[in-house]
A = this chain, B = another copy of it.
Amino acid sequence: MEQKIYKIGFIGMGTVGQGVWKHLQNNQDHMQSRFGAKYELAKACVRDVNKKRDIVITAEQMTEDPYDVVNDPSIDIVCELMGGTGKALELTLAALKQGKAVVSANKAVISKYGAEIFATAEKFGGKYFFEASVAGGIPIIKILREGLVANSFSHIYGILNGTCNYILTRMERENAPYEAIVEDARKLGYVEADESLDLDGWDAAHKTSILAYLAHGVWASPEKDMLVSGIRGIRLEDMLWAKENNSRIKLVGSARKYGDSLSVAVYPAILPITDVVANVNEVYNAVALNGDVVGRTIHIGRGAGQDATASAVIADIADALKTLTSGASNALSVAKDEKLHFAALDEISGEFYLRLEIKDQAGALASMASVFASEGISIELLQQKKHDVEGRAWLLLTTHSTNEAAIKRACENLEASDLTFDKPFVLRIFR
């Protein structure tokens, strides 16, 4: 019997799609021998068939209608690389319902509609693959689901947005302000068209919610269940403070258990320089997992870019081929802890760094201190620094262990008072 040739279709032929196409085309013999199966690059839905591309693709292989891919009965594997959450969901579900394998790099659609997608996949043979959705260069989905399957995770955290890490790395290295570096990152094409996805932490939040789901079986909505803040507002004063205190600022996605409550969050955090994660720079991502059996493991790789993400998509295609050849299911077996609830702010304890823009006048410090005291917040370190503007000063301080609710109230009280010029700027301290 002749060996079946599995047909692969693409929806979306942007940077990642072209990367996958290129590698699968150029190294077909090598890939087939590693996959243990044969494949054909059958069809690709593109936005404009007439656009010039860097890959070898014929007019017959291209279409502008995604349903030419999804509804083609000869296509076995659909790679959804278009992004977005509306049409992507519709096409994903349509492909799954036809029993096709779907490979996706789309963290936004998984974070928002994961429950529906995974349920549909399970119903129709469990053929949904999404390694490329989180930390392209790190096979973290596979590590979490399979390699560390024996573990429950008290804490998962890491650097999940390469663009923000690039910006923070350059700010620190060049002692250059946020706006200048962001502008450079824009020119290099590192910042997504919808800038808020990167800079305000939403992209990292999508990825964090996926990791939290895999570990704990619950879907945290970035808007409703998560603390999400990005890197806007970080100043060189903060970076200098971190440096002087043997630390570094990183945008961190975190899923942490406090007893039966789970805090899923994204925020800039201060990490001790002795933490390997603090030393992961440029566009690299890192994920640290604290498992109850294995202990601490850390994984580092490129966070984005054509090739790192292509590597993950190709790994998923390999897994999809294994599922197709064996008839096995890749359905998730996520163990849900029924007692688990999302942590209320007063359940999330920790130490905090605050930067306040205060009036440089007698009594300001005393009034400030009383705001913290009234919330039961105890100050650990405090430093007043010169401000560029006459009559203002920067006040940098860290707290002893307290909780998110107390910090939130203190910040609101300070903002409402006439003691500060702006909202207090808050960083979480990781130990």
Please indicate the chain B residues that have their CB under 8 angstroms from the CB of A148 in the complex. Answer: 139, 311, 315
Q: A139 near B146 (CB under 8 angstroms)?
A: yes
- Per the bound structure, the CA–CA distance linking A387 and B323 in Å amounts to 65
CA distance A363 to B63 in the complex (A): 79
Q: A301 and B311: CB pair below 8 A?
A: no
Find chain B residues with CB under 8 A from A139 CB: 142-143, 146-148
Q: Are A297 and B294 in contact (CB under 8 A)?
A: no
Least distance between A248 CB and chain B CB atoms (Å): 14
Copies in the complex: 2
> Are B311 and A294 touching (Cβ within 8 A)?
yes
Q: How far is the CA of A123 from the CA of B315 in the complex (A)?
A: 25
Q: Tell whether, in the assembled complex, residue B137 and residue A318 are in contact, meaning their CB atoms are under 8 Å apart.
A: no
Residue numbers in B under 8 Å from A318 (CB-CB): 146, 149-150
B333 engages A33 (CB within 8 Å): yes
**A322 lies within 8 A of chain B by Cβ:** yes
A131 contacts partner chain B, Cβ-Cβ < 8 Å: yes
Chain B residue nearest to A137 in the complex (CB) = B294
Distance to closest chain B CB from A389 (angstroms): 38
A136→B296 CA distance, assembly (Å): 12
Select from chain B the residue with minimum beta-carbon distance to A289: B301
Chain B contacts of A307 at CB under 8 A?
A: 293-295
Q: Which of B143, B150, B299 contacts A310 (CB 8 A)?
A: B150
A291-314 Cβ-contact flags toward B at 8 Å (1 or 0):
101111111111000011011101
Contact at A297–B296, with CB atoms within 8 Å? Answer: no
Q: CB-defined interface of A323-352 with B at 8 Å, one 1/0 digit per residue?
A: 001111101011100000000000000000
Task: Confirm or deny: A152 has a beta carbon within 8 angstroms of a beta carbon on chain B.
Answer: yes
- Determine the distance from Cα of A300 to Cα of B300 in the docked complex, in whole angstroms: 9
Q: Decide if A112 is an interface residue (CB 8 Å cutoff).
A: no
Q: How far is the CA of A280 from the CA of B327 in the complex (A)?
A: 41
The contact of A297 among B137, B147, B152, B297, by CB within 8 Å, is B137
Residues of B within 8 A of A149 (CB): 34-35, 314-315, 318
In contact, B333 and A35 (Cβ under 8 angstroms): yes
Q: Which of A7-46 contact B (CB under 8 A)?
A: 23, 30-31, 33-36
Is A276 in the interface zone, CB < 8 Å from B? Answer: yes
Taking a contact as CB atoms under 8 Å apart, the answer to whether B152 and A30 are in contact is yes
Q: Does A299 contact B302, Cβ atoms closer than 8 Å?
A: no
Docked CA distance A276–B278 (Å): 11
Q: A148-B315, A327-B326 are in contact. Are A297 and B138 (CB under 8 A)?
A: yes
CA distance A318 to B332 in the complex (A): 13
A55: shortest Cβ distance to chain B, in Å? 15
Determine if A295 and B308 form an interchain contact, defined as CB atoms under 8 angstroms apart. yes
Residue ranges of A at the interface with B (Cβ–Cβ < 8 Å)? 23, 30-31, 33-36, 131, 136-139, 142-143, 146-152, 276, 279-280, 291, 293-302, 307-308, 310-312, 314-315, 318-319, 322, 325-329, 331, 333-335
5 A-B pairs with C-beta separation under 8 A: A33-B333, A143-B143, A150-B318, A295-B302, A327-B327
